[in-house]
A and B are shown apart, each in its own frame.
Chain A
Amino acid sequence: DTAVSQTPKYLVTQMGNDKSIKCEQNLGHDTMYWYKQDSKKFLKIMFSYNNKELIINETVPNRFSPKSPDKAHLNLHINSLELGDSAVYFCASSRREGPAFFGQGTRLTVV
């Protein structure tokens, strides 16, 4: 009964490839997020969705495209992967107030 689950946990791929990370939450939350954690552990928001609608789209290359088919899912598709995309990507969800709960993270390595 995992609250926020994202797959895969590890992703190793070559430059130029396209990849997707899936995220699902069973908490009934309205808001879902994608965060990127760099090598210095800094967490930066990429996208925020509320009830399937994009609310926040930070300065993220167009190669990153989130998709929310329903309130419980927020997937992240990345085109033409670059070396600099290597990071840990976290999905999270929350209600309007209260904490966000995070998935286990996806460690993306681009070689």
Chain B
Amino acid sequence: AQKITQTQPGMFVQEKEAVTLDCTYDTSDPSYGLFWYKQPSSGEMIFLIYQGSYDQQNATEGRYSLNFQKARKSANLVISASQLGDSAMYFCAMRGLSGAGSYQLTFGKGTKLSVIP
């Protein structure tokens, strides 16, 4: 079974500052992938960044980076230089890379980020 925990229902950040959104996970899969998605108020689900459990380096995509700490089972999203357009819900998700767990993404409850001008 897979479980994703996002403990921050809401976060505020000043424009141009960096912010970290927390995500911890639990799984019995030996290898897995971790994902972050953004859902703006318009409703679409936008893929941001991916980290494989076997990757040695933390993933980065532009202003997004994933702080992956395997021993602590955490996969925090760091957004640098926040912009007003970053205001949205952010979901952490995971999927196993083998067996039945590879056929579903399990999501956390999300964190609502508000960027203050």
Contact = CB atoms under 8 A, between A and B. Distances in A.
Given A43-B91, A90-B45, A104-B43, A97 B107 contact: no
Interface string B46-80: 01001010000000000000000000000000000
B44 A104 contact: yes
Contact of B102 (A40, A96, A105): A96
A41 B110 contact: yes
A28 B110 CA distance: 29
Given A41-B89, A43-B91, A101 B105 contact: no
A99 interface: yes
Interface of A: 31, 33, 40-45, 48, 50, 55-56, 88, 90, 92, 94, 96-102, 104-105, 107
Contacts of A88: 43
A101 B104 contact: no
A55 B95 CA distance: 14
Contacts of A56: 100, 103-104
Interface residues of B, number: 23
Given A96-B102, A104-B43, A43 B50 contact: no
B91 to A, nearest CB: 7
B100 A55 contact: yes
Contact of B105 (A45, A50, A97, A107): A45
B47 A99 contact: yes
Given A102-B44, A104-B44, A41 B109 contact: yes
11 contacts: A42-B107, A42-B110, A45-B105, A56-B104, A88-B43, A92-B105, A94-B95, A97-B97, A99-B47, A100-B95, A102-B37
B39 interface: yes
Contacts of B110: 41-42
Contacts of A104: 43-44
